[in-house]
Amino acid sequence: MTSRQRVQSALSHRQPDRIPLEFGSTAVTGMHVTAVAALREHYGLEKRPVKVVEPYQMLGEVDDELAEIIGIDVAGVAPRTTLFGFPNENWREWRAPFGLTVLVPEGFRTVTEPNGDVLIFPQGDTSVPPSGRMPAGGYFFDTIVRQEPIDDDRLDVNDNLEEFQPVTKADLDHFAAAIERAAATGRAVMASFGGTAFGDIALVPAPFLKRPRGIRDIAEWYMSTVVRRDYVHAIFEAQCNVALENLARIHAIAGDQVDAVFICGTDFGTQTSAFCSVETFRELYMPYYKRVNDWIHAHTNWKTFKHSCGAVENFLPWFIECGFDILNPVQCSAAGMEPRHLKRTYGDRLTFWGGGVDTQKTLPFGTPQEVREQVLSRCEIFGAGGGFVFNAIHNVQARVPVANIVAMIEAVKEFNGLR
């Protein structure tokens, strides 16, 4: 099988020749730039700065050279601009506070405060307030909430729709070129087109906007899903209408070259519980997810990808009812997320994209042997009968021992009979 056939087989719940593996195709399945640099050094690749392709989380580019060594079966298509609103272009070197020289886009503009915090600016414009902060000693940026005082009598839904606009020619040209490059690798193509993330808390503060309006404070947004539900519905309804129009225009240039599409990263689970009730999910979120997924399934061959961290087992029947094909990151350490139960109960209807190793404890703090044993166990459980794409549980973070990352990769190869 080719890489693309392998992934397509897994997504169709057929047993592929081996478990497909993915790192770096989305903003929730990647590796911190320090991890990528360490892997390049481990495998003896040319020593050069790694591109930071997602600056919010400081994710590094897993280029074709490294992807070939790891055995990656998926290529990613990202939006034209980053979460801070500038495009990934015109690369230059930057010495990160954690001691690594990396490549960043031209619009990656920062200042360092006296205490060592690094501030980053929306769209690279240093004349407006910063929208992200990397604390001294940190490895990625936290959003700076820039919430104007809220006057409920003057709230305007359009203020929370500034980022949900018709796709531009520049965006379409970018997607066309990016899809062509990804397809040329022979791997399956995972695309993140944007615009369909209803209530994703990473997007609510709008770190990509110079002066965000509307409800942009994280706590205020969560409260608004209860006390201003009509307002939130109005946002989601307008957003959904734009998203469907955009998907039609994007599909016209993407066609069947795309295999899966990232729909939404809204988290519904915590470590032990949930951010809302199932009833709230069904009333507030489900109608819009279903409209998007129904359109995609009616007009394309794409599979749809839902990211939600935490204890979301109670939501899984409704994720399926919404039309989601893929669940990520499959946080097996959260309450109710036991691997065998998930596979037995939902494995014929959901593809598990993740769950391969615990990135909170085992990968960063375990031994290479403990990593190997967990990876082999997860492959055995999730891989039976297809419906599994190997990835860690969310992004591989900074300071993870490279020996453990290599143990993870080698364990997948061992399970697949490649060692």
pLDDT tens profile 181-239: 999 999 999 999 999 999 999 999 999 999 999 999 999 999 999 999 999 999 999 99
pLDDT at 180: 98
Strands of 308-403 (E only): list them: 326-328, 351-353, 388-389
Closest CA to 186 of 20, 56, 305: 20
Residue 233 and residue 214: Cα distance in Å, rounded?
14
pLDDT at 129: 98
Provide the pLDDT confidence category of residue 359 given band limits of 50, 70 and 90.
very high
Cβ(349)–Cβ(385) below 8 Å: no
Side-chain-facing half-sphere of 111: CA atoms under 13 Å = 12
Q: Compute the average pLDDT of residues 73-87.
A: 98
319 by DSSP, 3-state: which? helix
Mean pLDDT taken over the chain? 97
Domain ranges of the chain: 3-32+63-82+146-415
Pure H helices in 142-217: 169-184
| 164-177 pLDDT, tens digit each | 999 999 999 999 99
| 92-139 tens-digit pLDDT | 999 999 999 999 999 999 999 999 999 999 999 999 999 999 999 999
Question: pLDDT digit string (tens) for 251-308?
Answer: 999 999 999 999 999 999 999 999 999 999 999 999 999 999 999 999 999 999 999 9
Q: Could you tell me what percent of the chain has a pLDDT over 90?
A: 100
- Contact in structure between 128 and 121 (CB atoms under 8 Å): yes
Buried b / exposed e over 118-143, threshold 16 CB at 10 Å, is: bbbbbbbeeeeebbbbbeeebbbbeb
Q: What is the mean pLDDT of residues 66-83?
A: 98
The tens digit of pLDDT for each residue in 307-345 reads 999 999 999 999 999 999 999 999 999 999 999 999 999
| Residue 419 reports pLDDT greater than 90 | no
* CATH code matching the domain that covers 3-32+63-82+146-415, chosen among 3.30.420.40, 3.20.20.210, 3.40.50.261, 2.40.50.140: 3.20.20.210
Question: Can you list the positions of beta strands (E) in 108-209?
Answer: 110-112, 118-120, 132-134, 142-143, 188-191
Q: Are 302 and 255 in contact (CB under 8 A)?
A: no
CA–CA separation, 129 and 120 (whole Å): 9
